Amino acid sequence: MAAVLMRKLLEIKDYQLINPEWTKMAPEQKEQLKVLLLEILISEKDKKLKKATMDVINQVAENVFESENEKWDELISLILNFLSLGLTEDNYINIECGLNLLSGIFNFVYDDIITKIEGLVTVFRTFYKTNSLSLKVRTSRTIAEMITYCEK
């Protein structure tokens, strides 16, 4: 419930570039929120709560990356870390989280991620070799999102 409220609070309307509530927050509060969200994502085991946390992270990321003076290198690092996890049943949920987050922020971090594209292609190929239909579908969606942005 708190995740839904946070996501709604920081939602960017069509006519906005950045949510006004985000701009009102002190830099220390923003950093604390970002750290807390990543900690929750890493430690959460429940798939529904992990998804709700990802939704909030994507909303915060949109505000961060639309801001001129803000960065979130830790998010990019976490995504790449999730994508490099071993292919075990226990890791699939985090790998899918990494793919979901990459889809959500790719248009903002294109320049950082495109330099790692060969490694990503290799990782994506290994995901297609698993028996996990969910992982294969999430991989396909991520690739489609990346291609859509690159075509623009």
Q: What pLDDT, on a 0 to 100 scale, did the predictor assign at position 76? A: 94
Q: What pLDDT, on a 0 to 100 scale, did the predictor assign at position 8? A: 56
Q: What pLDDT, on a 0 to 100 scale, did the predictor assign at position 3? A: 52
Q: What pLDDT, on a 0 to 100 scale, did the predictor assign at position 152? A: 59
Model pLDDT for residues 34-76, shown as the tens digit of each residue: 999 999 999 998 888 898 899 889 988 988 888 888 899 999 9
Split at pLDDT 50, 70, 90, the class of 23 is: confident
Q: What pLDDT, on a 0 to 100 scale, did the predictor assign at position 1? A: 47
Return the closest-CA partner of residue 18 out of 68, 91, 73: 68
More confident residue, 82 or 112: 82
Contact status, residue 57 vs residue 7, Cβ threshold 8 Å: no
Give 120's Cβ-side CA count (13 Å radius): 19
Q: 127 to each of 86, 96, 116, 121, how far by Cα in Å?
A: 10, 10, 17, 10
Split at pLDDT 50, 70, 90, the class of 16 is: low
Q: 55 to each of 10, 44, 62, how far by Cα in Å?
A: 11, 14, 11
pTM to 2 decimal places: 0.85
